Amino acid sequence: MGDHTTPSLAAAVSNSGGLGGLGMWGFSGEEAERRVAGFRQQSGGGLNVNYPLWDHAGDLTDIGGPMRKLVQALYDSKNAGPIPEPKASVGVVNQEHLAMLEKMRPEVVSFHFGLPDAETMDAIRSLGIFVISSATTVAEARQLEAAGIDAIIAQGTEAGGHRGTFTKTDISMQPGLFALLPQVVDAVNVPVIAAGGIADGRTIAAAIMLGASAVQLGTAFLRCGEAQILDAHREALRNASDDSTVVSNVVSGLPARFVKNRLIEELTEPGVEPLPFPAQMAFMAPLEDTGDGAVAPLYSGQSAHLTREMAAADLVSTLAEETNRCFSQY
Ligand SMILES: Cc1cc2nc3c(=O)[nH]c(=O)nc-3n(C[C@H](O)[C@H](O)[C@H](O)COP(=O)(O)O)c2cc1C
């Protein structure tokens, strides 16, 4: 979960029997190493480090005029000054990060939006690191398996954050977890990790019954004290109901699920496209700095209402107890 994850959040999860994750998005190799070292100081457990992958969008100078106007109007309403000039970037595991992985040896590397090139995959796998990535359809799961992945995260549409799709599948045609998970389990021979809408023992037990070997939770951990999020974001998660969220591409340029707020409403206009991912996100930092939940991005899955405000270690042990109770009742 990018910079919402902290070494103390990941350590608390790993120390209580889960596998903590640290987002590497936007961090230099040196910063990444400091993050992993921070985790190692607090935990002797396993660690997953995560890399979202994307291509360079090319020259952005003259594109996105209508979107820039919409964003500027939002800035003006908050006295946030002129909008910044976004820069194109590329999401890869570069040499600096490969050196960091070689030195720090996290147990797991996960990817979002597909997989890196074969050379990078080989370099990571030659370190003995377990590699996983998200699939939003059976076809994507098959592609990941063919590329030699160790396990697949089946990401249902309920999930918070970005849709992990890498085949440009129409978002409205992507399945929810109940439909996706058993079909992925039937289609591949590697373990499947269920993600999307899982927030308590009942939803974990259901995923296991549908064939999951493990579960991945995002939104539920946003409410832990160790997560780095705005107070307004916590409040939005606390007040969310089943129909509070929407999938939109206006925050980053790629579809992701958020609590619907003024930000999403005012940047959604027919015919107005966001800048390519992740350039559109350059507009978000000053809006987040206002601390105002109306104009900051509020990433959330559809099960926010089932999540609880508690320390991460307590959450992991509560989830385990609840899951065991579910299985002992049936
Ligand atoms: C705030 C937020 C940020 C996320 N960022 C990432 C990310 O950087 N990389 C990634 O692989 N998945 C990311 N995800 C998606 C999660 O890996 C996972 O699929 C999702 O959280 C599961 O659904 P849930 O939110 O209903 O638990 C993010 C999710 C959230 C809520």
First to last CA, the chain: 34
Counting Cα atoms < 13 Å in the Cβ hemisphere of 260 gives 12
Q: Is 64 helix (H, G, I), strand (E, B) or coil?
A: coil
pLDDT tens digit sequence for 62-116? 899 999 999 999 999 999 999 999 988 899 999 999 999 999 999 999 999 999 9
pLDDT tens digit sequence for 1-46? 878 889 999 999 999 999 999 999 889 999 999 999 999 999 999 9
CATH architecture for the domain at 2-55+90-230+311-329: Alpha-Beta Barrel (3.20)
Type of residue numbered 175: P
**CA of residue 246 to ligand 1 center, whole Å:** 14
176 lines ligand 1 (CB under 6 A): no
Give the percent of the chain with pLDDT over 70.
100
Alpha-carbon gap, residue 264 to 275, rounded angstroms: 15
299 lines ligand 1 (CB under 6 A): yes
Query: Residue 87's pLDDT is what?
Result: 87
Cβ 43 vs Cβ 17: under 8 Å: no
Mutate to test the pocket of ligand 1, among 162, 200, 203 (most ligand atoms within 8 A of CB): 162
User: Is 78 exposed, middle or buried, given 0-12, 13-18 or 19+ CB atoms closer than 10 A?
Assistant: middle
pLDDT above 80 (res 330): no
For the chain, domain boundaries: 2-55+90-230+311-329
Q: Which residues lie below 8 Å from residue 106, measured CB to CB, with a gap of 6+?
A: 22, 36, 46, 47, 48, 49, 129
Q: How many other CB atoms are there within 10 angstroms of residue 112's CB atom?
A: 24
Cβ 324 vs Cβ 202: under 8 Å: no
